[in-house]
Structure formats: C-alpha cells, structure tokens
Homo-oligomer: A and B are copies of this chain.
C-alpha cells in the first residue's frame, strides 16, 4: 500500500524527516487552536500536527474538533515538545468529515470517561476509543500468532462446517438453523414437522465444535487446526459466556497425551510471546489500565502481578503437570477446603472441579500455570481415551491464573471397540456418527487435540474482565444488535 500509516511514520520517521508527507486520521484532541492529536487506528499513539492558524481559513479551523477527520499535508520535523519524537508542520488541511455536533454529545466519542456498559451499547463506535483500539489490535495479533504458530509447525487450517446435521458431543444447547417460514412450517401426514422440506432436507444446527470433523481431516492430513465461530444457546448471562465465540482446535495424528500437553504449552507461550513482542504500546496502555483497576478492588482480590509481568511469567514458567488424582489430594488437604472456604467443597475423588478450585491450584498452590490430566471418565466426553485403570481418561485442562481453564483437550479413543462401548454407556448414537466411526476402521491411529476459546485468551492477554469487551459485537441472551 502506498499510503503510510501513522504507526509506520512514527517508527521510521528518519526516512521522512524534513520531507512533506500526507497523513490521514481522526482528531483525538485539538489544543490551543494549534496542536492536533491525529490518530488513524494503526497504533495507540497519535501524530501531532502543528497548525499555524493564521495561515488557514477560519472555516477550516472551526471544523477541526474531536472526532472529525482530516487529510493533512505537511513537513515532518523533530518535535520541540515532550511526548513525541516528531510532528508535522501543517501546510494544507482538508476536513474530510466533520461532526453532527448535537448527536455527538450522546456518543462515546465525546471526550470523557464512559462506562464499559455504555461503550458496549455503542460497539460500532468503540473501535475509535484508545481502550478498544488496543484490545482489538491485540486480538488481531493473537489471531495472527495462532495462524503463524500452526503454519510454522506444519499444520493445515481446515474449515469445518458451521451448519451441521450432527450433534457433536451433546455439548450444551444448540441453535437451530432453518429456512422455514415459521408461520407456515410444513408437516408430514402424521403432523410431525417435515424437515425433508427444509433447506438441507433435515434438521440442522449451528456447530458447537469442529473437533469431530477435524479428527477426520487429521486422519488424512496429519496435523490440522480449525479456527472458526462456535455457538451455545445457553441462557448464561455471565462475564465469561458468549452465545457466539471463536474457537481454535488443533488435532494431531500420532500424538499422545504428553505430546498434546507439550503442544498446548508451546502454543500458548508462542502466542503470548508474539503479543509481547508485537504489541508493546498497546500492552503498556492496557497494563496501566489494569494496575489502575486493581486499586479499586479489595486488597485480597488484587492481582499480584501487573499485566505485562503476568504475561512474561507465563512464558518463563514451566507449566506444572498434575494428575486429577493428585489435584484432588491437594484440594482435600487444603486449608481452604477444610475451613469451608470453597463455595463447592471437595468431598471425594470424582468431583468436577469448579473455577475456584482451579484458581486455587494455579494462584495459591503452584503459583504457575497448571495442566491437569487423567480425569474421571464420567465427567468427560465419550471420545477421550480410556486409561488401563478403566476409571480415568486421557483428558487434560490447562489452567491459567485469573481465568481458570483456558484449554481443554485429550488423547482420543482410537480403539473402535472401546469407543463403541463408551458411546453406548454415554448414549451417543453410533448411526449419527457413522463417518466418525469410519476413521477407526481403516488405519486408525493414536491422536490428540484440544480446544482454545479465543476470547478467553484475549481476556487473559488484555487484562479485560468481561468477555463482551474482547469481541467486536457480542452475542448474548436478548442481545444481537448490529
């Protein structure tokens, strides 16, 4: 692209010093009728434009105000003031778009502090704020790092279907997809809904996971990953749940559980290091905000580390690998459990761990990310590989400070007889998954994979606390605006 972004200009300013350049952006602030802070979204940093107002038409100057957009031609000079290396001495200013001043008053573009709730209501404008500019640039960096990691490691990105006729794992409620006119649903002679007349000739839903289809791809291509939207029609109005979110699911032929844990650890560290290396300015801004926010919390709820420090520590530390059985021992013997400090006390082996237990292990007991593995088979999905003890399966969860589970995965059951047995026990229809069974009939191989909720990782990396603030247009119960 011929046009230079403000990020490029600020980074390589030596190339343009004392030259005339053209820049474009929105006005962040206009001080003393002389200093414009111009931003084009490429970076959190503004470019300072110096205006000698006597040289410009008053009509132009009067239209320069917060949120209006400009094209500026001027000379790049070393800055006299503090806070920036270079600035532009304006020679020509074109106001591209001014403001509907009255309506602006009620928007979040009005330069003052707005609540996150209000910013969410104007999600179409929040890209223009410092905070959400930073969050969405970091989200991009996380996304790109994910693709880069897998590509470097010889994985192939596979697009599994969004509309599906198969209920993957009974993982929660699904949204229906139909092209029926709901006022006029065709019926069979028996009065049943006649799905044969629907678009796909059968009942279809939005996918809850691409894993099962991903496994079939891994059985041919070896190493694959999916990266796409997934859906849950659960009526959960929490800061951790979305009805529509993006999921990353690698699946690797010939990998066992240890390989899978290694992969998860390498993967998370790569992505976080990439963000540390490539989003310095945005992270510094988010770090300040994070520290500020901690101050408003009761002392014992405050994070021990700053945001950047936390990210650096996760990259530096070896993830602790602990079996579920060991974890239960630790929890049973903990002061917290004995003194009844957990909302859900741990009573015996077999209990499903809650967020409070996961966070205890990570934040108090081990003080590092933790990988739990070998969970009781009854609390995990049918496709996870059964251990010889006949009680546990080769499942793994990666637990992160402040956030709990960030990755869940397993070695898959590749032995068809064991798989069939498990499906029967867990009431999964074999006929529905005939194609999945096929992958165990012709050169079945050990394989393993995991799922990462993109938004969980972006929450962790940005230090934001509500999942609705790390996806551009959140979908939640009673809310699908935009």
Contacts and interface: CB of A to CB of B under 8 A. Distances in A.
Contacts of A7: 154
B475 A163 contact: yes
A179 B175 contact: yes
Interface stretch (A123-131, A309-317, A320-328, A384-392): A123-131
A271 B218 CA distance: 25
A112 to B, nearest CB: 15
A35 interface: no
A160, A183, A235, A481 — which one has the most chain B CB atoms within 10 A of its CB? Answer: A481
Interface string A146-160: 010001011011111
B442 A163 contact: no
A144 B109 CA distance: 35
B244 A161 contact: yes
A443 B98 contact: yes
A133 B221 contact: yes
Contact of A200 (B159, B193, B266, B477): B477
Contact of A222 (B41, B125, B235): B41
A217 B233 CA distance: 26
Contacts of A147: 143-144, 147
A100, A173, A266 — which one has the most chain B CB atoms within 10 A of its CB? Answer: A100
Nearest to A252: B1
A37 interface: no
Contact of A24 (B178, B180, B244, B253): B253
A104, A109, A122, A157 — which one has the most chain B CB atoms within 10 A of its CB? Answer: A157
A237 to B, nearest CB: 12
Interface string A424-435: 000000000001
Given A3-B254, A136-B156, A441-B103, A220 B126 contact: yes
A349 interface: no
A166 B5 contact: no
A54 to B, nearest CB: 25
A3, A165, A252 — which one has the most chain B CB atoms within 10 A of its CB? Answer: A3
A209 interface: no
A259 B443 contact: no
Interface stretch (A84-92, A223-231, A297-305, A367-375): A223-231
Given A124-B216, A200-B475, A473-B161, A223 B445 contact: no
A176 interface: yes
A468 B159 CA distance: 13
Contacts of A472: 158-161, 213, 217
Contacts of A471: 159
A444 B99 CA distance: 8
A119 B160 CA distance: 17
A53 B182 CA distance: 66
Interface in A402-451: 414, 435-436, 438-446
Interface string A229-263: 10101010000000110100000111100010011
Contacts of A103: 441-442
A182 B183 contact: no
A8 interface: yes
A160 B164 CA distance: 21
A31 interface: no
A465 interface: no
B177 A438 contact: no
Interface of A: 1-3, 5, 7-8, 24, 26-27, 40-42, 67-69, 71, 96-100, 103-104, 107, 109, 122, 124-129, 132-133, 136-137, 139-140, 143-144, 147, 151, 153-154, 156-166, 173, 175-180, 182-183, 185, 193, 199-202, 204, 206, 213, 216-223, 228-229, 231, 233, 235, 243-244, 246, 252-255, 259, 262-263, 266, 414, 435-436, 438-446, 471-473, 475, 477-482
14 contacts: A3-B254, A41-B222, A96-B254, A125-B216, A127-B220, A129-B220, A137-B156, A144-B147, A144-B151, A175-B177, A175-B178, A176-B178, A200-B475, A435-B482
Given A27-B443, A68-B442, A200-B478, 18 more contacts: A24-B445, A26-B445, A96-B446, A97-B443, A103-B442, A125-B216, A136-B221, A137-B156, A139-B157, A158-B472, A176-B177, A178-B182, A179-B233, A182-B182, A183-B193, A199-B233, A199-B243, A200-B477
